[in-house]
Structure 1
Amino acid sequence: MATAMNLGRLLTQAARRVPGRPALVWRERRWTYAELDARVDLLAQALRGLGVGKGDRVLVHARNGNPMFESLFASFKIGAVWVPTNFRLTPAEVAYLGASSRAVVMLRDQGFGGHAQAVREASPHLRHVVAMGDAGPGELDYEALLAAATPPPPDHEAAVVHDDPCWFFYTSGTTGRPKAGVLTHGQMAFVVTNHLADLVPGTTEQDASLVVAPLSHGAGIHQLGQVARGAATILLAGEKLDPAEAWALVERHRVSNMFTVPTILTALVRHPAVDAHDHASLRHVIYAGAPMYEADQREALQKLGPCLVQYFGLGEVTGNITVLRPDQHTAENAGSCGMARTGMDIAILAEDGTRLPPGAVGEICVRGPAVFAGYFENEEANRKAFAGGWFHTGDLGRLDARGFLFITGRQSDMYISGGSNVYPREAEEALLTHAALAEAAVVGLPHPKWGEAGVACVVPRDGQAVTEAALLAHLAPLLARYKQPLRILVWESLPKSGYGKVPKALIRAKLAELGVAF
C-alpha cells in the first residue's frame, strides 16, 4: 500500500516555516500560523480524548468560522474523516448525513441544537455533541474542550496511506439521496498540488485569499492549497454574502485570489462597492460550479481585468477536471470551460463506451489521480460511476481538436442553482409527502440571478385542492431553501410517455408552450 503524507501536516509545515504570518482572519480576530496550529493540535487531542480515532467520522454543521477551519485540520491530523455539511440544510437532512456516515462526534455551530438532536435520534453511532457557544444539556463546549486539552508532542499526526479517507464529500451524484464521496489523503495531496499549479500559480505566504463560499465544499478544498503555501485566509463576518464588505476586505488585506461561483462573482461585480475599493491586487478570481453567461463573463473581465480562472469539476473529482486560465478567456474559447488539468485525462464517450472524435457530443468522462475512491458503501453506484475504467460525470459535452471542453447538457435531471447542485427527486419526494398531491415533477429553468431555479408541476388528488403558498410552506421544514422550487404550478395532469413515464423533456416542452420562464 502506497504511503502518503497526512494532509494535516500542511498546517504543521506552514506553522514551522512562517509561524508569525497571518493564517486566518475572521471579524476582529487574527490567528498566526503558530497560533492556529496550536489550537488545531488541542482540538486533535480533545477529539482523541473523546475516543475519536483513525477512520472515525466527525460530522461538522457550522457556518464559516475558525472552528470550521480548525475541525478540518484536526480531523486530518488524527486520521479521522471530516464530514462537513451545508449549514443551510434542515435538521432532517443533517440527520441523514450523520446516520449514513456513522459519525461518532458532531461539532455544531450556535443555533443548531435542533440539528444535533435530530442526528442523535437518527444515529446510534453518535457519542458526543460539541457546541460552539451555546451548549445544551448533554453537550460539550468547544472552547472549554480546547482549554482542558494537553498539547500533543511534535509530529503526532496519524500515519496514513494513499487510500485512507480524510473527507466525506456528500453529493447526490445524479439521483436520489446524498451519497458520501470518499476523498483520500493521497488523492487530495495531488489535488492541492494541482490547484496550486493550474489555478493559482505563484502563491506564497505573501498572498491572501478571500472566502466567499461555504468551506464545506469547493472553498474548503481551495483553502487547503492556501495553507500549503502559508497564505492568509480571510473570512466574511457573516453567513450571507456582503459585497461591500467583500470589496473592503480585498482592499484591506491585498487579497490576491478567491474561489467563487458565477452567481457570487456576478453579484460582486455588479455591486457599486467594486468601484469604491482598490482591487488591483487580485490575480486569480476563480469561478466554478456552474456555467457562466458570456455577457456576465465579459462584464466581470471589464471590471476586474484579466484575472478570471474557470474550472469544471465535480465533487467526485474534487473540482479537478478542466481549467481556463486568465489568458485563455478569449473569443476563440467562448463557451468553453477549458482544457484538461495537469495529470488528468478527459474523454467523450458514446453510450457503448467507445471514445468519440473531436466535435462529437457524448458523456464527459475522466480519469486520473484526482478521481475519488468511490461512494461510501454503495457498490451499485460505484459500478455505474466507474464503468469501463473511467469516472462518468453524467454531463454531456464535446472536445475540440485542441482538447478544450464544451459542456452541452446533462444526462441527469440535476440543475445548478446559485452554484449548488439541486436534484429534482429530493423536491419531488418532499412534495409528495403532502396528502393532497398525486404527482409532482421538478425541472430547472434558466434564472437571471441564480443561473437556474426550480419549477414544480404538481397534480392534486381527486377532490383535493392545493395552492402554491401552501405547498411552499409544506416544503420549508423539509428542504434547504436552495433546493426548493421557486414556482409551483398546479396542473390537471402531467405529460407522459407511451410507457407511462414522465420524461422531463415533455415537462420542459409544456412549460415552453405555456411561456413559463423566470
Structure 2
Amino acid sequence: MAADAIAGDPKGGVAPQSTRVSNLAHLVTRAARRLGDRPALVWGDKTWSWRDFDARVSAMAVALKDRFGVTKGDRILVQSQNCNQMFEAMFACFRLGAVYVPTNFRQTPEEVAFLLEASGASGLICNASFPAHAEACQRSARAPGFTLSIGEAAFGEDYDALVDAHLGQDVPNTVVDRDDPCWFFFTSGTTGRPKAAVLTHGQMAFVAVNHLNDLMPGTGPDDVSLVVAPLSHGAGVHQLTQVAAGATTVLLPSERFDVAEAWALVERLKVTNMFTVPTIVKRLVEHPSVDDFDHSSLRYVIYAGAPMYRADQKRALEKLGPVIVQYFGLGEVTGNITVLPCGEHSLDDEAARLGTCGFERTGMELSIQDEAGAELPLGQTGEICVAGPAVFAGYYDNSEANAKAFRNGWFRTGDLGHRDEAGYLYITGRASDMYISGGSNVYPREIEEKILAHPKISEAAIVGVPDPDWGEVGIAVLVAVPGETVTEAEIGAFLADKISRYKMPKRFVFFDEMPKSAYGKITKKLVRQALEERGVLTARATA
C-alpha cells in the first residue's frame, strides 16, 4: 500500500472489511477433531468424549432447526440446574446462530415467565424438575412456540429422545459476525427486575482468550475443571473457556452442594481448576473434609462475584496454598475488569496489597469518574467505569437502561473504588451500598473488613438505614463462628479504636445464617429484606 494513501486517509487507506468471526460452537468442532476420544464432560458415572459431545450438540441443533424452525437470532430460554443437556444446549444454540438464554434455576415460576417475555424467547428447554415453571411460561402472554423437557415430564418433547433420533446428523456452524448475539446474560436483579445483557460471538471469543491468558495461564487438554456454581452465569463463561482450552469439565453428581463430595472429586479426577464465589471458597476450606482428601492437583481456584475478606483469603491460602485467583467483573463485562493472580496473594500482610481486587485485565481499561464523568486522580474514590472488547453490546430492548449504563464510551459499573499509584483497584462497594451519616460518606466494606478480623465472627454485612438524628446509620448483620457466642458490646469494644465514631454501626444484629443469592453471594438487598422480615427496621422506625 502506498505511503501517501495511508497518510491521506485517517483510517490508513484500508477499506472496511468483513466483521465475520468464528462461531463459538467451532470451539467444540475443533476439540472433537483434535481430541476425539478424550473426555469432554464428566457427570456422575457418565463420561462423554469430545466426539460424543460434538455429536450430541449437532443432534440437538438439527432437531431445533428441522423440527421447530429455530434459526439465527431466535432466543431459546433454558430453565435447568446443571446437567449435560444444559451444557449441550448452549452450544446447540450457538451452532445455529440462535441466542442461549439461561435462567437462574432457583427463581420462581413467575420470575422465569418474566424472563421468557423479556427475552422474546421462541422456545423453552426446561428440566423435568420444574413443571410449574414450564406451565407459567406456557400460559404467559408470549407462550413459547415449543417446549422440550430434560428428563421425563408431562410437558414438552423429550430432549434426549430428540438427540437420539438425530444422532449422526450434522449441521454446519452458522456464519456469524462479531456483534451477533449469542447469549442473553440476565443480571441478578439486586436492584429492580433482571435485565438481559446481550453478549456476542466476538466479545465472548475475546473473553475466552482473556480468561486463559489472565486467570489460568497454561490451561489445556490435560486440565480438569470442577463446576461448583450454576452454569447459567459466571460458571458457564468459565466452562466455555475450558472448552476453548480442550479441558475436561466435571459436574457435581447432585444439585445439593456437598463439600466432602466436591473434595472427593478433586482427589479422584485430579481436578486442576474451579470457579466460584468467596462464600463457597470459605465453605470449602472451613469444612473438615478439606483435610481428608488430596487437593494438590489444584492449580487455580478462581473466585469472583464479590471481594474476599482478608481473614478468608488467609484461611484459603493456608489450606490450599498459592492457588487462589481473584477477578472483578460484572455480567455486563463478562468478568473481565481486573485480576489478582496467584502470585500476588500472600499470607504476609506486609507483602500483600491488602484489599485490592487487582489490576486491569489485558485489553481492558479502567477509569475512576466523578458524577459528571470526569476522571478522578489516583487515590480518590469514584465510580468504576470500564472500556474494552469484553464490554457487552447493551441491554436487550431497554433503551432507558442503556442510556444510564454508558457515558462517553465508558460502561458505568455502579461500583465505587479507587486506584493506587501502580494502578491496582480497591473496591469501596456498590454506589447503592454507601450511606451518609452526619454528612459523611460511609462505605460498609471497610467496616465489614474490620469486624471480620474478630476471631468469633464468620460473616458480616452492613446496611444503611434512615435515622432522625444522623440522616442514616449502619446496622451490622453478623454470623458467629459455629460454637462461639459473642455480644453486641464485645464487637463494639473491638471496633472502638479501629474506626471513626461516625462509621460505628448503630446496632449489631446476629443471624444464624446470612441470606445469600442463588449464586452464594451476600447481597445487601437480601440482608435488608431479612431485617425487615424480622421487624428490626420497623422497630427502628417506630422507636
Q: TM-score range by the shorter chain?
A: 0.7 to 0.9
Offset from partner CA, 1:83-131 (integer Å, 9 cap, x none) = 0011111001000001111111111112211101101111425111101
Which TM-score applies when normalising by structure 1?
0.81
- Residue of structure 1 in register with 2:176 after alignment: 160
Match of 2:241 in 1: 225
Q: Distance in 2 between matches of 1:360 and 1:13?
A: 47
Match of 1:131 among 143, 146, 149: 149
Residue in 2 that maps onto 1:247: 263
Contact 2:62/2:170 (8 A) holds in 1: no
Which of 269, 288, 291 in structure 1 is aligned with 2:304?
Answer: 288
Contact 1:77–1:157 (8 Å) recurs in 2: yes
**C-alpha contact (below 8 Å) 1:78/1:158 kept by paired residues:** yes
Are residues 1:339 and 2:359 paired? yes
- Is 1:306 matched with 2:322? yes
Deviations 1:423-449 (A, max 9, x none): x9xxxxxxxxxxxxxxxx9x9955549
Say which SS state the counterpart of residue 31 (structure 2) adopts: helix
1:106 aligns with 2:150: no
CA contact (8 A) 2:56 2:167 kept: no
Higher RCO structure (Cα 8 Å, ≥6 apart)? 1
Q: Structure 1 residue 316 and structure 2 residue 332: aligned?
A: yes
Q: 2:119 and 2:56 mapped to 1: Cα distance?
A: 26
Q: Deviations over 1:226-246 (max 9, x none)?
A: 111111001101112111010
Query: Quick check: 1:7–1:77 contact (8 Å CA) kept in 2?
Result: yes
Residue identity matched to 2:397: E
Alignment size in residue pairs: 444
Deviations 1:442-482 (A, max 9, x none): x99555499xxxxxxxxxxxxxxxxxxxxxxxxxxxxx999
Counterpart of 1:293, as a letter, is Y
Among 39, 42, 50, which residue is 2:59 paired with?
42
Q: Distance in 2 between matches of 1:117 and 1:378?
A: 27
Give the conservation status (yes or no) of the 8 Å contact 2:59–2:170. no
Mapped partners of 1:254, 1:248: distance in 2: 10
The 1:391–1:494 alpha-carbon spacing in structure 2 relative to 1, beyond 3 Å, is farther
1:66 aligns with 2:79: no
**Distance (Å, rounded) in 1 between the aligned partners of 2:31 and 2:537:** 62
The AA in structure 2 aligned to 1:233 is: T
Distance in 2 between the 1:493 and 1:481 partners? 22
Q: Give 1:14-25 correspondences, 5 Å limit.
A: 14-25=31-42
Alignment of 1:132-151 (within 5 A): 132-137=150-155, 139-149=156-166, 151=168
Question: What percent identity do the matched residue pairs reach?
Answer: 55
Structure 1 runs, 4 residues or longer, greater than 2 Å off = 150-154, 172-175, 412-416, 443-450, 480-487, 489-495
- 5+ unaligned residues in a row in structure 2: which ranges? 1-17, 435-443, 446-460, 464-471, 482-520
* Match 1:486 to one of 523, 526, 530: 530
Give, in whole Å, the separation in 2 of the partners of 1:234 and 1:446.
36
CA contact (8 A) 1:343 1:368 kept: yes
Tell me the residue number matched to 2:223: 207
Instruction: Work out the CA distance in 1 between the residues paired with 2:324 and 2:237.
Output: 18
Q: What code does the residue aligned with 2:114 have?
A: Y
Q: Counterparts of 2:475 and 2:192 in 1: how far apart (Å)?
A: 16
Match of residue 494 from structure 2: none
Other structure's SS at 1:299 match: helix
Q: TM-score, normalised by structure 2?
A: 0.78
Letter in 1 for 2:384: I
Q: Deviations over 1:48-104 (max 9, x none)?
A: 121111000110000111011101110110100000011111001000001111111
Q: Is 2:136 the partner of 1:92?
A: no
Matched with 1:359 is: 379
Q: Distance in 2 between matches of 1:357 and 1:292?
A: 26
Aligned to 2:74, which of 47, 51, 56?
56
Matched, 1:180 2:196: yes
Distance 2:536 2:108 in 1: 29
Aligned pairs for 1:459-498 within 5 A: 485-487=529-531, 488-490=533-535
2:295 pairs with 1:279: yes
Rounded to whole Å, the distance in 1 between the matches of 2:162 and 2:170 is 18
Q: 1:387 aligns with which of 407, 424, 434?
A: 407
Aligned partners of 1:85 and 1:59: how far apart in 2? 7
3-state SS in 2 of match to 1:486: helix
1:263 counterpart SS class: helix
Indicate the SS of the match to 1:106.
Answer: strand
**Matches of 1:45 and 1:339, distance apart in 2:** 44
CA–CA distance in structure 2, aligned partners of residues 167 and 445 of structure 1: 38
Q: Displacement of 1:413 after TM fit?
A: 4.8
CA contact (8 A) 2:137 2:143 kept: no
For the Cα contact (< 8 Å) 2:101–2:183, is it kept in 1? yes
CA RMSD of aligned residues (A): 2.6
Matches within 5 A, 1:411-490: 411-413=431-433, 446-448=477-479, 485-487=529-531, 488-490=533-535
